[in-house]
Chains A and B, each alone.
Chain A
Amino acid sequence: MTEPNAPVASSPHGTLDLTLRIWRQAGPDAPGAFETIDAPGISTEMSFLEMLDVVNERMVNTDEEPIAFDSDCREGICGSCSLMINGQAHGPEHGTATCQLHMRSFHDGDTISVEPWRAAAFPVVKDLVVDRSAFDRIIEAGGYISVSVGSAPDANEIPVPKTVSDTAFDAAACIGCGACVAACPNGAAQLFTAAKVAHLNLLPQGEPQRYERVEAMVDTMDGLFGSCSNHRECEAACPKEISVDFIALMNKDYLRAKFKNRRFLSRKP
């Protein structure tokens, strides 16, 4: 399970002298540019964000405004952190969010470029912070199962085959970080949307709204994001390693919805 080239943690820890090329941008409409910042004496045990904390603290000490970046849980689950690191969403390690990327993945003397997500749907707010609320619009369009509180049947009333539940879970593991969109040459949100569609559409609980859901979510997505052209960069960048197979499932349901929803509509009095 250990990466073959990952050095084993030891104490005292090794240190790295790094050069950062960081995107600085004062606000949404301000011009941005790379700034070169020296980062000497970085411990290999730090996470990438802890490295930025240290750089920021040093900047405060020298009266420079610290770098703005999003992060919260720092354990790879909240999806707040982002960053294009050397052109890769969440950096070089596979299946790892930036907050769990450790400096032991870099080498002494490296120059590291750090940019915000680049996508038309995610405008830059400041420095490395972007606005990802377009994702929320997709969920609001249909990424839910409607259940009035108090009306749910006993949880064991509807058995769900374990394999179905496990596959739904694989899709539900999405943390909404936006790496898929940032990695996509078209800025498309197919993987994010498909992950939620698949999670809910695979489960028997999600069946009643299956076709309305996929149509509403895909149409909303299309209005906000670019188009998918099967590059599969999204899958490679996803810190939760969500499969592009779910996109096929979404497309299938979407196509079916185009017929089914129309048929249901025609039956309305």
Chain B
Amino acid sequence: MTDITLDSKVPDHPIEEAWDRHKFDMKLVNPSNKRKYTIIVVGSGLAGSSAAATLAQLGYHVKVFTYHDSPRRAHSIAAQGGINAAKNYHGDGDSVWRLFYDTVKGGDFRSREANSYRLAQLSVNIIDQATAQGVPFAREYGGLLANRSFGGAQVSRTFYARGQTGQQLLLGAYQALAEQIGKGNVELYNRCEYVDQVVIDGQAAGIVVRDLLTGAITSHGAHAVVLATGGYGNAYFLSTNAMACNVSAAWRAHRRGALFANPCYTQIHPTCIPSSDEFQSKLTLMSESLRNDGRIWVPVKAGDDRHPGDIPESERDYYLERKYPSFGNLVPRDVASRNAKIAVDEGKGVGPLHNGVYLDFADAIERLGADVISQRYGNLFQMYERITAEDPYRVPMRVFPAIHYTMGGLWVDYHLETTIPGLYAIGEANFSDQGANRLGASALMQALADGYFILPYTIGDSLAPRLGEPVPDTSHEAFRAAEAEVHDRYTGYLSVKGSRSVDWFHRELGKILWEYAGMERNRAGLEKALSEIPALYEEFKTDVRVLGDDRSLNQSLERAGRVDDFFQLGQLLCQDALDRDESCGAHYRSEHETEDGEALRDDEHFSFVSAWEFVGDGQPEVLHKEPLEFENIHLAQRSYK
């Protein structure tokens, strides 16, 4: 265990002025000196593309690495519903303070106040930036921007681009990045996967990457490294994440000294298409925005297999409207998910496998007409129909919760710098702003706030004093040693020649995590997971079968590396969930619930960020705590009634 003090670097100013005054306090790099610094950005989603484009605009020399064939493929592209901003364009009482309040409350008082406030504050700039880039947000007939409402809020502050908001925002950021690539300010390395972090004298010195087409392992030095590598929901195998989403970059940095915070905060999205069989490769999300017009219900009687149209009103339970009259179907994600699970556990699940609840648009179609519903959700309805062969205009959708987003991630301070100086983490890869539960339409907001408006400024503060330092030389022994380790790791997977595929192990790991560390957790289950995962991991190491070689495109080999890291992270996730002996937000320990079945926090003992330190393979990780103080928002039991 090393002596680590977690300095959050939160400025000592009133929260409304903190960011602006802090920007003035930070050191600047002279425009003509910026080109003397090399910055590596790993990942090209909303956070990575926006950061890389902005850093290049400012004049830094930027290198971008992505394992995709093009930066535009990053999984931000799949975000559907929208992006929050406290514009108050609709005069319904919104404000920066209200978005801040909703975020902290939605996160069940486990986020860092100053970060959440800054996020709310910058939300308005993101909309301006994106609109100027040509992002075609939905508009009213007068030509001004439209909004819709989302879970956990009583105002309409969500900007959206049909059901493809993530796509349009990412294309905006990707195009800004492409402009900089075209101008020669950014070097792009596609189909190139980050496989290790290099740290020299306690400072991030560069990265080791594996070219996915040739298997070549090479090093790149930089003055600073930015990880914008997304979340780790795919540890559960079935999730709404894309197939390649993984934890490897964050995990490899963690193994080199970056603390990993709150891994047990994993968000379940309440409305995904229920799985239909074992072969299923992923779960498809149906945007939270659908809960604006869709009503969630199950039959009152368990095991009622009648066609939904044959079940009369009096025999339907619109359980969210019944239990939470003021928020109704728009309760936050964790509350909606848990209630769906309760209904299914009571035997009221619908569909052939009784594993879903209805999301019904009949009333909305009657009230507004099918055309309006089609304008709002047409592409989502179409997507649903392709997958299930059922027409949601006529038959209610069936939905069930699935792993979607991870609030946990690398620990970062107010500058978004990890515990390794010079290594930054932005977007979903860090932990800072969302607490124990993220509100809908806040992921895009955070990724772009980090990438466009925060990191490009904070990074200068630590770079400025290092003027004149050369880019770390990749012939340094630390780079050589890391390359050798990576080489051995990948040839190691090939040489096991066991009997089971990588996917088989991934699927089995996912089952354990979903069973014991999914929507609801308890001590006995987590202890069971902590004995089963290491056993399965041992089997993986001795019995995995990876065919092919390491000198050409080998997708099984890529996956082997990622699943290896999921095994390690999975154990830490369960350890963290076990250690956090309270319920908060998405982390629901069945031992701790209120009489109404809500998450029961224990602020006296758990009002802190859990930041874990890797101390060696096979050794338990060491817990460090960053206390959370709430000076601006009064700690309260969440209620959405």
Interface residues of A (CB under 8 A from B): 1-2, 6-11, 13, 26-27, 43, 45-47, 49-50, 53-54, 57, 60-61, 63-66, 68, 70-80, 93, 96, 100, 102, 104, 125-126, 129, 131-133, 135-136, 139-156, 158-162, 165-166, 168-169, 172-173, 175-176, 199-200, 203, 205-206
Q: How far is the CB of A101 from chain B (nearest CB, A)?
A: 8
The 6 A-B residue pairs with the shortest CB-CB distance, nearest first, are A159-B143, A11-B352, A140-B182, A144-B175, A152-B132, A155-B131
Query: If the complex has contacts A78-B75, A144-B178, A156-B144, are A135 and B70 also in contact, measured as CB distance less than 8 A?
Result: yes
Partner of B242, one of A9, A74, A159: A74
Nearest A residue to B129 by beta-carbon distance?
A152
User: Which A residues are CB-close (under 8 A) to B68?
Assistant: 72, 80
User: Which B residues are CB-close (under 8 A) to A126?
Assistant: 552-553
| Interface residue range, chain B | 35 or more
**How far does the alpha carbon of A175 sit from the alpha carbon of B280 in the complex, in Å?**
23
Pick 17 A–B contacts, CB within 8 A, sort by A. Answer: A2-B385, A27-B552, A50-B280, A60-B545, A66-B556, A70-B69, A72-B243, A74-B243, A80-B69, A100-B386, A102-B387, A140-B179, A149-B53, A161-B139, A169-B161, A199-B136, A205-B132
Q: How far is the CB of A65 from chain B (nearest CB, A)?
A: 5
B87 within 8 A of A: yes
Q: How far is the CB of A154 from chain B (nearest CB, A)?
A: 6
User: Which A residues are CB-close (under 8 A) to B456?
Assistant: 149
Query: If the complex has contacts A125-B213, A144-B178, A203-B134, are A9 and B70 also in contact, measured as CB distance less than 8 A?
Result: no
Interface flags, B73-94, vs A, CB<8A=1, else 0? 1110110000000010100000
User: Which A residues are CB-close (under 8 A) to B390?
Assistant: 2, 8-9
**How far does the alpha carbon of A9 sit from the alpha carbon of B273 in the complex, in Å?**
14
B181 within 8 A of A: yes
Partner of A74, one of B281, B352, B382, B555: B281
Query: If the complex has contacts A57-B504, A162-B141, A169-B162, are A6 and B389 also in contact, measured as CB distance less than 8 A?
Result: yes
B171 within 8 A of A: yes
Residues of chain B in range 42-95 having any CB-CB distance to chain A below 8 Å:
53-54, 57, 68-75, 77-78, 87, 89
Interface flags, B491-506, vs A, CB<8A=1, else 0? 0000000000101100
Q: Does the CB pair B178–A143 fall under 8 Å?
A: yes
User: Which B residues are CB-close (under 8 A) to A146?
Assistant: 179
Residue pairs across A and B with CB atoms within 8 Å: the count is 231
Nearest B residue to A104 by beta-carbon distance?
B389
User: Which B residues are CB-close (under 8 A) to A142?
Assistant: 182
B459 within 8 A of A: no
Q: How far is the CB of A150 from chain B (nearest CB, A)?
A: 7
Query: If the complex has contacts A66-B556, A74-B242, are A148 and B139 also in contact, measured as CB distance less than 8 A?
Result: no
Interface flags, B183-221, vs A, CB<8A=1, else 0? 000001010000000000000000000000100000000
Q: How far is the CB of B435 from chain A (nearest CB, A)?
A: 27
Q: Does the CB pair A145–B178 fall under 8 Å?
A: no
Apart from A80-B73, A155-B131, A203-B136, 20 more pairs, CB < 8 Å: A1-B382, A1-B391, A2-B391, A9-B276, A9-B352, A49-B281, A50-B279, A60-B556, A72-B68, A75-B383, A96-B386, A143-B175, A145-B133, A150-B129, A151-B132, A156-B145, A162-B139, A169-B161, A169-B168, A205-B131
B597 within 8 A of A: no
Interface flags, B513-535, vs A, CB<8A=1, else 0? 00000000000000000000000
User: Which A residues are CB-close (under 8 A) to B78?
Assistant: 73, 75, 77-78
User: Which B residues are CB-close (under 8 A) to A70?
Assistant: 69
Q: Does the CB pair B87–A200 fall under 8 Å?
A: no
Query: If the complex has contacts A100-B383, A100-B386, are A159 and B144 also in contact, measured as CB distance less than 8 A?
Result: yes
Nearest B residue to A58 by beta-carbon distance?
B501
Q: Does the CB pair A2–B389 fall under 8 Å?
A: yes
Q: Does the CB pair A65–B175 fall under 8 Å?
A: no
Query: If the complex has contacts A26-B552, A72-B242, are A43 and B387 also in contact, measured as CB distance less than 8 A?
Result: no
Interface flags, B540-566, vs A, CB<8A=1, else 0? 000001011000110110000000000
**How far does the alpha carbon of A152 sit from the alpha carbon of B548 in the complex, in Å?**
50
Nearest A residue to B214 by beta-carbon distance?
A27
Q: Does the CB pair B280–A79 fall under 8 Å?
A: no
User: Which A residues are CB-close (under 8 A) to B504?
Assistant: 57
Q: How far is the CB of B399 from chain A (nearest CB, A)?
A: 15
Interface flags, B352-388, vs A, CB<8A=1, else 0? 1100000000000000000000000000011101111
Nearest A residue to B55 by beta-carbon distance?
A149
User: Which B residues are CB-close (under 8 A) to A159?
Assistant: 139, 142-144
- Kindly name the residue among B69, B188, B545 whose own CB sees the greatest number of chain A CB atoms within 10 A: B69
- Kindly name the residue among A50, A60, A160, A175 whose own CB sees the greatest number of chain B CB atoms within 10 A: A60
**How far does the alpha carbon of A50 sit from the alpha carbon of B281 in the complex, in Å?**
6
B125 within 8 A of A: yes
- Kindly name the residue among B143, B353, B393, B501 whose own CB sees the greatest number of chain A CB atoms within 10 A: B143
Q: Does the CB pair A43–B70 fall under 8 Å?
A: no
User: Which B residues are CB-close (under 8 A) to A165?
Assistant: 136-139, 143
User: Which A residues are CB-close (under 8 A) to B313?
Assistant: none
**How far does the alpha carbon of A167 sit from the alpha carbon of B285 in the complex, in Å?**
26
**How far does the alpha carbon of A232 sit from the alpha carbon of B389 in the complex, in Å?**
29
B252 within 8 A of A: no
Q: How far is the CB of B614 from chain A (nearest CB, A)?
A: 29
**How far does the alpha carbon of A1 sit from the alpha carbon of B146 in the complex, in Å?**
27
User: Which A residues are CB-close (under 8 A) to B75?
Assistant: 72-73, 78
**How far does the alpha carbon of A266 sit from the alpha carbon of B575 in the complex, in Å?**
69
Nearest A residue to B276 by beta-carbon distance?
A45
Query: If the complex has contacts A66-B547, A100-B387, A176-B70, are A45 and B178 also in contact, measured as CB distance less than 8 A?
Result: no
B284 within 8 A of A: yes
**How far does the alpha carbon of A140 sit from the alpha carbon of B547 in the complex, in Å?**
37
Query: If the complex has contacts A74-B281, A125-B213, A205-B131, are A131 and B242 also in contact, measured as CB distance less than 8 A?
Result: no
- Kindly name the residue among B75, B137, B282, B353 whose own CB sees the greatest number of chain A CB atoms within 10 A: B282
Nearest A residue to B127 by beta-carbon distance?
A155
**How far does the alpha carbon of A7 sit from the alpha carbon of B167 in the complex, in Å?**
31
Partner of A68, one of B133, B453, B553: B553
User: Which B residues are CB-close (under 8 A) to A104?
Assistant: 389
Q: Does the CB pair A147–B243 fall under 8 Å?
A: no
User: Which A residues are CB-close (under 8 A) to B54?
Assistant: 149
B595 within 8 A of A: no
Q: How far is the CB of B240 from chain A (nearest CB, A)?
A: 8
**How far does the alpha carbon of A155 sit from the alpha carbon of B89 in the complex, in Å?**
10
B109 within 8 A of A: no
Nearest A residue to B136 by beta-carbon distance?
A169
Residues of chain B in range 261-291 having any CB-CB distance to chain A below 8 Å:
276-277, 279-282, 284-285
Partner of A129, one of B125, B144, B553: B553
Q: Does the CB pair B128–A152 fall under 8 Å?
A: yes
Q: Does the CB pair B129–A149 fall under 8 Å?
A: yes
**How far does the alpha carbon of A93 sit from the alpha carbon of B385 in the complex, in Å?**
13
Q: How far is the CB of A138 from chain B (nearest CB, A)?
A: 9
B176 within 8 A of A: yes
User: Which B residues are CB-close (under 8 A) to A173?
Assistant: 164, 167
Partner of B128, one of A9, A79, A154: A154
Nearest A residue to B352 by beta-carbon distance?
A11
Residues of chain B in range 114-169 having any CB-CB distance to chain A below 8 Å:
125, 127-134, 136-145, 161-162, 164, 166-168
Q: How far is the CB of A230 from chain B (nearest CB, A)?
A: 27
Q: Does the CB pair B383–A162 fall under 8 Å?
A: no
Query: If the complex has contacts A13-B277, A139-B178, A149-B456, are A144 and B548 also in contact, measured as CB distance less than 8 A?
Result: no
Q: How far is the CB of B182 from chain A (nearest CB, A)?
A: 3
**How far does the alpha carbon of A145 sit from the alpha carbon of B162 in the complex, in Å?**
21
Interface flags, B29-40, vs A, CB<8A=1, else 0? 000000000000
Q: How far is the CB of B371 from chain A (nearest CB, A)?
A: 13
Q: How far is the CB of B539 from chain A (nearest CB, A)?
A: 16
Partner of A172, one of B136, B141, B244: B136
Nearest A residue to B179 by beta-carbon distance?
A144
Q: Does the CB pair B176–A147 fall under 8 Å?
A: yes
Q: How far is the CB of A181 from chain B (nearest CB, A)?
A: 14
Nearest A residue to B58 by beta-carbon distance?
A149
User: Which A residues are CB-close (under 8 A) to B555?
Assistant: 66, 68
